[in-house]
Amino acid sequence: MQYSELGNSGLKVSRLCLGTMTFGEQNSEAEAHAQLDYAIGQGVNFIDAAEMYPVPPRPQTQGLTEAYIGSWLKARGGRDKVIVATKVAGRSTELSYARPFAIHPDRRNIELAIDASLKRLQTDYIDLYQVHWPDRSTNFFGRLGYEHQPLADEVAIEDTLAALGDVVRTGKVRHVGISNETPWGAMRYLAIAEQRQLPRVVSIQNPYSLLNRVFEIGHAEIALREQMGLLAYSPLGMGALSGKYRHGARPAQGRLTRFDRFRRYSTPRGAAAVERYAQLAETHRLDLAQMALAFLLRQPFLTSVIVGATTLDQLAVNLGSIDLTLSETVVAGIEAVHAEDPNPCP
């Protein structure tokens, strides 16, 4: 395994992070524990979760992901050797069952959410606490164009960061991060932290894959210059870049088969790009998923790639990408495919 510093935190995190979004929906508690055991055995020390997980969110399953991680932490011990990240939800009507008032990243939500996450995780601190998505109306979750639509009740970044500062001061959180955030939002968090002596954001968790390289356009320079490295999620386009959906295949347990909410990764443009990448991998006798992950691991603005799986075999393939170094010929081939149709699945 390889490791990177998490922003300016002093923490060294594995370049591959275990994503746990499937725990409690597609994976049982026993399967979750098996994945955690295997990942730790391969040198992974970084685990990412969220209060809303598993996905798709449902009242019956909300919080199970953190609970499964918590039962594993209690059974295995060694909390100080694992870096645990989780998230507080942004503005949401979908999660109205989670709290007895409107869901926003404001003080009362953050105070309740952090205590609930700590209880489920069976720990007294969280290493990285992230705002899952912005409270304002902006372009995230597959939306490219920005339309200015100020909301009367939107929570100011100043207020969110002040509330996060309080949970850092209490010792419940060590460091803070952002997710699904825009370049403007990222810079506001940094500016406010400096102006008001509040916690400095150490990471940004946004989508990044061969099918979606939008991060390179506006975020990459910020990530490098401001020591706010990318935690890349959906690095395989919800499994599309494993190749299992090629030629119209729809495996019964596949995420794109089961859940309509991920359709942006199964468009005709996306399928065409996957096919070109698959042919490139075959030409060079590479596993498609490992090639896709190895390309991300080359990027200087990246801190860690969040890899998820529903089986141990899938997880083994994904973690094996850490040992793959792509030749310049393969990289040139990837860039040629990208140039033909950039970002088919933003």
Q: What is the pLDDT of residues 21-57, one digit of tens each?
A: 999 999 999 999 999 999 999 999 999 999 999 999 9
Give the residue from 126, 148, 123, 152 showing the smallest Cα distance to 138: 148
- pLDDT confidence band for 266 (50 / 70 / 90): confident
For residues 222 and 7, what is the distance between their CA atoms, to the nearest angstrom? 12
258, 137, 225, 167 alpha-carbon torsion, rounded to 10°:
-80
By annotation, the residues acting in catalysis are 53
Q: Determine if the pTM surpasses 0.85.
A: yes
* Total count of residues recorded for the chain: 346
Give the residue from 262, 258, 281, 277 showing the smallest Cα distance to 327: 281
Give the residue from 255, 296, 260 showing the smallest Cα distance to 277: 296
pLDDT above 80 (res 261): no
pLDDT attached to residue 284: 98
Average pLDDT over residues 128-146: 94
Q: Output the average pLDDT for the chain.
A: 96
Reported as a single tens digit per residue, the pLDDT across 241-255 is 999 999 887 887 787
CA distances from 45 to 113, 180, 200, 313, 322 (A): 24, 23, 22, 19, 14
Average pLDDT over residues 72-96: 96
CA distances from 16 to 43, 53, 133, 334 (A): 9, 20, 22, 21
Domains of the chain: 3-239+296-324 (3.20.20.100)
